[in-house]
């Protein structure tokens, strides 16, 4: 990569964190002030940066146009597929990608378990928000008003004896999910299937999708399932970055 192009890209990355002067950019990039000025003038001509009244530079309108076009073209399933398959290969259990649709979650993709005893699920099927790991991973990051609209009045439908059917117990669970970064389906949707799920964030930081690992209780015990949480949350973070989210924002 030519040094001038590399430096121009580094300037854009620096300005994404906030406006800066020519001297500040020069120090951060380790280049002379005249080099920074030359690059900034070129970027300004093409509207990638804009000079403010106080002499600092900030991201320009053309960057916003490009960012919008890129995000409009994001395909969550395509962005996630490689990460889902890597997680499935590493853990050997069923991996799901799901997204919020209406007042339910819909499974967008699936990696099958390597074990003979498997769970039945299919791409395109919907499931309740309150009784699934992916659903709770999403709900935990929504406002109380959004939860009210999606869940409706309790009691919520009981899928198994473990399903949380009151708003109080569900909200307590969701508070724990938000704090630790992953959700547990403790045999709440299907009596013999447990699941751990983590939220996926879009470029704005909003959570409307999640990734999960599921396994029958006879195949994987609770400790084994929870041990997968770090790899799972790392996968969710990688998918989030693929679709535009940045932890540094």
Pair 113, 150 in one domain: yes
pLDDT at 99: 92
The pLDDT tens digits of the residues spanning 207-246 come to: 999 999 999 999 999 999 999 999 999 999 999 999 888 8
Pairwise CA distance, residues 36 & 28, whole Å: 10
Instruction: Look at residue 16 and tell me if it is in a domain.
Output: yes
- Select the more confidently predicted residue: 89 or 102: 89
Give the lowest-confidence range in 63-67, 131-135, 224-228. Answer: 63-67
Answer yes or no: is pLDDT of 67 > 70: no
Helices 22-29 and 3-15 cross at an angle (nearest 10°) of: 120
Pair 120, 157 in one domain: yes
pLDDT at 127: 92
- The confidence band for 72, taking pLDDT boundaries of 50, 70 and 90, is low
Pair 65, 109 in one domain: no
The predicted model gives 158-176 an average pLDDT of 96
Give the lowest-confidence range in 12-16, 149-153, 207-211. Answer: 12-16
Q: Residue 27's domain spans which residues?
A: 3-72
The predicted model gives 189-216 an average pLDDT of 94
- Select the more confidently predicted residue: 120 or 3: 3
Sign of CA dihedral 166, 175, 182, 249: positive
Pair 66, 13 in one domain: yes
**What pTM did the predictor assign?**
0.73
How does the average pLDDT of the chain come out, rounded? 89
Pair 107, 183 in one domain: yes
Pair 67, 80 in one domain: no
CATH number of the domain where residue 182 is located = 3.30.450.40
Pair 40, 148 in one domain: no
Answer yes or no: is pLDDT of 150 > 70: yes
Give the lowest-confidence range in 65-74, 121-130, 194-203. Answer: 65-74
Cis, bond preceding 132 (omega within 30 deg of 0): no
Pair 35, 81 in one domain: no
How many domains would you assign to the chain? 2
Q: Which of 54-58, 146-150, 245-249 has maximum average pLDDT?
A: 146-150
The pLDDT tens digits of the residues spanning 33-47 come to: 888 888 888 988 888
The pLDDT tens digits of the residues spanning 183-192 come to: 999 999 999 9
Pairwise CA distance, residues 95 & 83, whole Å: 10
The predicted model gives 18-39 an average pLDDT of 86
């Amino acid at each position: 990569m030519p040094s001038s192009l590399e430096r121009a890209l580094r300037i854009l990355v620096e300005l994404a964190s906030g406006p800066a002067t020519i001297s500040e950019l020069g120090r951060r990039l380790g280049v002379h002030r005249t080099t920074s000025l030359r690059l900034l003038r070129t970027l300004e001509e093409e509207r990638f940066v804009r000079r403010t009244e106080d002499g600092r530079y900030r991201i320009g309108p053309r960057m916003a146009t490009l960012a919008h076009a890129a995000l409009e073209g994001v395909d969550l399933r395509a962005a996630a597929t490689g990460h889902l398959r890597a997680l499935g290969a590493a853990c050997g259990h069923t991996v799901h990608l799901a997204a919020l649709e209406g007042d339910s979650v819909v499974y967008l993709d699936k990696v099958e378990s390597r074990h003979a005893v498997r769970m039945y699920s299919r791409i395109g099927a919907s499931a309740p928000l309150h009784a699934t790991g992916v659903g709770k991973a999403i709900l935990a990051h929504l406002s109380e008003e959004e939860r009210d609209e999606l869940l409706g009045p309790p009691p919520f439908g009981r899928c198994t004896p473990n399903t949380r059917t009151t708003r109080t117990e569900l909200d307590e669970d969701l508070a724990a999910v938000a704090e630790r970064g992953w959700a547990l389906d403790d045999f709440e949707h299907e009596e013999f299937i447990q699941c751990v799920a983590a939220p996926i964030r879009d470029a704005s930081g909003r959570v409307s999708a999640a990734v999960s690992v599921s396994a029958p209780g006879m195949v994987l015990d609770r400790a084994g399932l929870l041990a997968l949480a770090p790899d799972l949350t790392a996968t969710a973070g990688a998918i989030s970055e693929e679709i535009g989210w940045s932890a540094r924002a």
